[in-house]
């Protein structure tokens, strides 16, 4: 499709003058903080054209999402698995260790929470492999940094309008409907309903400066449409005003029964923020994610899942689900101290272009590749610090040409690769799974010269799949 359209670009008026106005028109917006004392609104970065995605792999990604929802939930309930898997990581990674300490403290006290909400996003690339046949391979599953469900709900409208301007109405009609913000809100609403109080509110726990506020507002508006009240607070607010009553309900002048963190608080917290997180975890409030689910999304857990027999222990009797999950795995390798870790570290140092080195951090921009990977591994190869990383086979997708629109950047054609994310939502009450569904998709595209980084990191842009 791109070959057909690209030659007609300038004639259709989308040449040098393309400025992202359609993104603003359709509400694909972010706060623009660049060089300004007060933020203004600009369009979120996006591709000018939708990108081709193999329909069979797209359907495979949707088909396995409910399986991954079940898997994440099973991990979050398995104290022994988390304790064993993260034993080496918590010795060298302070952030994960602090989360784990809170998790253990809450378990020792006894869980007050009985309704559990999971919102995750499983991210994939299309690996061409040796023979050039594309295969779906999972990059990671995000149990906390699962953003852009709101903005991607509006991205298809932008691409549909572009195609119509280019005289491609038939192609525009083939773009898929996609509304993750509605799907995510359905999960939140179900958890709110099961909590059992009409006075309960949904609290979005936000950062001091929220660049991605409009993405969050899409989900928030869906909740207001269901007459569910939404408030926005910071960790500091919880620390200064939050408390628990005798029934472990969370109180701050009014009752907060629900906690939702759409973008994830991944920076190292101040001590008062850790205290606020502990308060939240000890409460009856429905946390999304609760700490056990956040730990289930760590890279070390992802690597452990690839070991033979692990999925069978976590999902007993679910043979077909296990097969669907395992089919998406890329090669994952432990860097724990010992012969196995020594061997894979030496292999990666000798041939760094085969691998990606991943730390225990959410969001894009943290992974290491090539010469940087080699330098870091050589530095830590004999140190326990290496156990805070995992190695993964480097996925090699087939590039395609597209135009990436960013505010303050010139428009130019780029050789690009894409990453497909599928949103999942589930609700469990005690031991009963009440809701389990795929909630929509997110396609992000970046120029091939950028090895790592997503939309929030300023590297990838929003896209829409055009199934082929």
Annotated binding residue 458: no
312 in active site: no
Q: Which residue out of 331, 363, 453, 458 is catalytically annotated?
A: 363
- Residue 36: active-site member: no
Assess whether 326 and 339 both reside in one domain. Answer: no
Say whether 364 counts as a known binding-site residue: yes
221 neighbors 255 (Cβ within 8 angstroms): no
Q: What's the rounded mean pLDDT across residues 226-234?
A: 89
Does the residue 119 lie in any domain? yes
pLDDT the model gives residue 259: 44
CATH number at residue 256: 3.40.50.1760
Ligand-binding site membership of 216 (annotated):
yes
- Pick the more confident residue, 189 or 10: 189
435, 448: one domain: yes
Catalytic residue among 362, 402, 424, 436: 362
User: Which residue in 468, 409, 399 sits closest to 45, CA to CA?
Assistant: 409
Q: Does 433 belong to an annotated binding site? A: no
CA atoms of 275 and 272, how far apart (whole Å): 5
Residue 405 resides in a domain: no
Residue 460 confidence class, pLDDT cut points 50, 70, 90: confident
369 marked ligand binding residue: yes
Q: pTM for this structure?
A: 0.87
Residue 358 appears among annotated catalytic residues: yes
Residue 176 is encoded by which pair of tokens?
Answer: 């898929």
Residue of 147, 388, 414, 464 marked catalytic: 147
Q: What is the reported pLDDT for 37?
A: 55
d(C-alpha 39, C-alpha 30), whole Å: 10
Reference 214, options 462, 30, 23, 401; nearest CA is 30
355 and 211 inside one domain: no
Quick one: pLDDT at residue 306? 93
Residues 310 and 198 in one domain: yes
440 pairs with which residues across the strands? 423
Q: Is 142 a catalytic residue?
A: yes
Q: Taking 60 as the threshold, does the pLDDT of residue 339 lie above it?
A: yes
At residue 231, the 3 state secondary structure works out as strand
Max mean pLDDT range (25-34, 285-294, 313-322):
313-322
From 23, 26, 121, 304, active-site residue: 121
Q: Which residue has the tokens 């995605």?
A: 53
Taking the CA atoms of the chain, what radius of gyration do you get in angstroms? 22
Q: Look at residue 9 and tell me whether its pLDDT is greater than 80.
A: no
Q: Is the pLDDT of residue 359 over 70?
A: yes
- Looking at the fold, whether 359 and 232 belong to one and the same domain comes out as no
pLDDT 10s digits, 146-192: 788 888 988 999 899 999 999 999 999 999 999 999 999 999 999 99
Is 358 annotated for ligand binding?
A: yes
Show contacts of 97-102: CB within 8 Å, 24+ apart: 98/269, 98/274, 99/291, 99/294, 99/295, 100/295, 102/274, 102/277, 102/278, 102/281, 102/291
Residues 103, 222: one domain? yes
359 shares a domain with 455: no
Side by side, the strands of the sheet bearing 332-334 are: 332-334, 389-393, 355-359
Q: Is 370 annotated as a binding residue?
A: no
Taking Cα atoms as reference points, which of 185, 262, 295, 268 lies closest to residue 456? Answer: 262
Name the residue with higher pLDDT: 167 or 5: 167
Q: Which of 358, 374, 386, 428 is catalytic?
A: 358
Show the domain range for 98: 53-153+175-330+414-467
- If asked whether residues 374 and 425 sit together in one domain, one would say no
Q: How many CB atoms lie within 10 A of CB 324?
A: 17
Q: Do 106 and 123 sit in the same domain of this protein? A: yes
Q: Does residue 14 surpass a pLDDT of 50?
A: no
Residue 210 has pLDDT above 90, yes or no: no
363 is catalytic: yes
Supply the CATH number for residue 372's domain: 3.30.1490.50
Residue 266 makes CB contacts below 8 A (sequence gap 6+) with 144, 145, 361, 362, 363
Confidence check: pLDDT of 457 > 90: no
Considering 137, 154, 282, 299, which one is annotated as catalytic? 299
Does a structural domain hold residue 289?
A: yes
Domains contained in the chain, number: 2
392 assigned ligand-binding residue: yes
313 lies in some domain: yes
Domain assignment present for residue 320? The answer is yes
Q: In this structure, is residue 282 part of a structural domain?
A: yes
The catalytically annotated residue of 51, 88, 142, 178 is 142
Query: For strand 202-205 and strand 258-260, is the pairing parallel, antiparallel, or unpaired?
Result: parallel
Query: Was 452 annotated as part of a binding site?
Result: yes
Instruction: Say whether both 86 and 205 belong to one domain.
Output: yes
248 assigned ligand-binding residue: no
Residue 278 and residue 324 in one domain: yes
Query: In the predicted model, what is the mean pLDDT of residues 55-60?
Result: 98
Domain end residue (candidates: 345, 366, 394): 394
Establish if 20 belongs to a structural domain.
Answer: no
Q: Which residues pair with 57 in a beta bridge?
A: none
- Do residues 432 and 356 share a domain? no
Tokens of 63: 């088909």
Span 228-254, mean pLDDT? 78
For the question of residue 121 being annotated catalytic, the response is yes
């Amino acid at each position: 499709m791109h070959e057909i359209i690209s030659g007609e670009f300038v004639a259709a008026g989308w040449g040098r003058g393309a400025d992202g106005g359609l993104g603003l028109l359709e509400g694909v917006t972010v706060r623009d903080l660049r060089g300004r004392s007060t933020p203004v609104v600009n369009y979120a970065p996006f591709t000018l054209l939708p990108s081709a995605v193999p329909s069979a792999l797209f359907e495979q990604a949707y088909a396995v999402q409910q399986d991954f929802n079940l898997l994440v939930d099973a991990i979050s309930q398995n104290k022994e698995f988390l304790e064993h898997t993260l034993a080496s990581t918590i010795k060298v990674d302070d952030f994960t260790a602090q989360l784990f300490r809170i998790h253990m403290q809450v378990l020792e006290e006894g869980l007050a929470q009985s309704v559990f909400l999971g919102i995750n996003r499983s991210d994939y690339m299309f690996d061409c492999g040796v023979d050039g046949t594309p295969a779906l391979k999972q990059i990671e599953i995000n149990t906390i940094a699962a953003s852009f469900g709101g903005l991607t709900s509006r991205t298809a409208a932008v691409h549909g309008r572009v195609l119509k301007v280019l005289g491609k109405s038939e192609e525009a009609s083939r773009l898929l409907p996609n509304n993750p913000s509605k799907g995510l809100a359905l999960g939140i609403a179900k958890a709110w309903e099961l909590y059992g109080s009409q006075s309960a509110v949904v609290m979005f726990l936000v950062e001091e400066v929220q660049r991605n506020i409009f993405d969050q507002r899409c989900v928030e508006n869906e909740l207001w449409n269901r007459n569910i009240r939404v408030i926005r607070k910071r960790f500091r607010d919880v620390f200064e005003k939050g408390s628990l009553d005798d029934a472990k309900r969370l109180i701050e002048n009014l009752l907060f029964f629900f906690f939702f963190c759409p973008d994830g608080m991944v920076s190292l917290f101040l001590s008062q923020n850790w205290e606020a997180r502990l308060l939240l975890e000890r409460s009856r409030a429905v946390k999304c994610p609760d700490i056990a689910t956040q730990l289930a999304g760590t890279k070390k857990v992802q690597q452990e899942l690839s070991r033979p027999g692990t999925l069978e222990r976590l999902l007993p009797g679910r043979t077909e689900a296990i097969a669907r999950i395992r089919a998406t795995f890329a090669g994952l390798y432990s860097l724990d101290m010992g012969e196995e870790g020594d061997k894979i570290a030496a292999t990666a140092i000798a041939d760094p272009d085969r691998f990606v080195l991943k730390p225990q951090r959410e969001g894009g921009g943290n992974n290491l590749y090539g010469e940087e990977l080699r330098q870091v591994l050589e530095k830590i190869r004999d140190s326990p610090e290496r156990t805070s990383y995992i190695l993964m086979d480097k996925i090699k997708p087939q590039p395609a040409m597209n135009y990436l629109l960013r505010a303050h950047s010139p428009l130019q054609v780029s050789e690009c690769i894409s990453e497909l994310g599928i949103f999942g939502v589930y609700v469990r009450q005690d031991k009963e799974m009440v809701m389990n569904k795929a909630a929509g998709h997110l396609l992000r595209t970046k120029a091939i010269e950028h090895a790592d980084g997503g939309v929030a990191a300023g590297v990838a842009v929003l896209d829409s799949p055009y199934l082929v």
